[in-house]
């Protein structure tokens, strides 16, 4: 079983842009390529897990989410870095699109995307990490039995100023590059 690093998308690999719905607003952080390549070389599966309630709210087309992922993966691949899989949750309890209006098991902080990835890719969640800019990312790590690193990019500084009762990150890092350095230093 392989350990994984689960990466949030918005505010983690790319700039937080609200409900991202066009490629011209998709800005990949300059450190993302090196960070993912280091995780690849260290033997981690690298998997993106993203809450995309904009789909359920009718603000983001599902086809655009696939397009954005293709763009991101191609950019990383050009730098010798690869993503092993990409999971997203289109649901929200207040979604305007009826098919997506539900309390699902996949929207972070639930662990559904992680457990599904573990099943599909043979991952050891207890040796895995989740990196993201919101407490819901850390909550998903906890729910899955993985460790969680909170970033200061995206919404991370706001999150750091507003601790969530009963939830602590295993580390807080300035950005994904710093988080990867911390992860690679864990045994
Ligand atoms: Mg985020
Ligand atoms: Zn969901």
Interval 107-159: pLDDT, tens:
999 999 999 999 999 999 999 999 999 999 999 999 999 999 999 999 999 99
Q: Return the active site residues.
A: 8, 10
**pTM higher than 0.95:** yes
Calculate how far, in angstroms, residue 102's C-alpha sits from the geometric centre of ligand 1: 21
Find the mean pLDDT for residues 84-102: 97
CA of 133 to the centre of ligand 1 (A): 5
The pLDDT tens digits of the residues spanning 25-47 come to 999 999 999 999 999 999 999 99
Own/partner long-range contacts of 121-127 (Cβ < 8 Å, ≥24 apart)? 121/2, 121/4, 121/45, 121/47, 121/84, 121/85, 122/1, 122/2, 123/1, 123/2, 123/3, 123/4, 123/45, 123/47, 124/1, 124/2, 124/3, 124/4, 125/4, 127/1, 127/3
Residues of the chain with pLDDT > 90: what percent? 99
The ligand whose atoms approach the alpha carbon of 156 most closely is 1
Residue 187 has pLDDT above 80, yes or no: no
Residue 7 alpha carbon to ligand 1 centre in Å: 9
pLDDT for the residue 78: 98
């Amino acid at each position: 079983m392989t350990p994984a690093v689960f990466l949030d998308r918005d505010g983690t690999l790319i700039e937080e842009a609200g409900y991202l719905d066009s490629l011209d607003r998709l800005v990949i952080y300059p450190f993302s390529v090196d960070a993912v390549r280091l995780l690849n070389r260290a033997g981690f599966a690298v998997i993106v897990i993203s809450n995309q309630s904009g789909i359920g709210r009718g603000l983001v087309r599902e086809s655009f989410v696939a397009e954005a992922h293709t763009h991101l993966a191609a950019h990383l691949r050009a730098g010798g870095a690869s993503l092993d899989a990409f999971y997203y949750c289109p649901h929200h309890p207040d979604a305007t699109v009826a098919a997506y209006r539900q309390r699902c098991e996949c929207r972070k902080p639930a662990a559904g995307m992680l457990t599904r990835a573990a099943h599909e890719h043979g991952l050891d969640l207890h040796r895995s990490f989740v990196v993201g800019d919101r407490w819901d990312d850390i909550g998903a790590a906890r729910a899955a039995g993985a460790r969680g690193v909170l970033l200061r990019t995206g919404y991370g500084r706001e999150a750091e100023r507003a601790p969530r009762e009963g939830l602590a990150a295993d580390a807080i890092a300035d950005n994904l590059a710093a988080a990867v350095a911390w992860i690679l230093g864990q045994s």
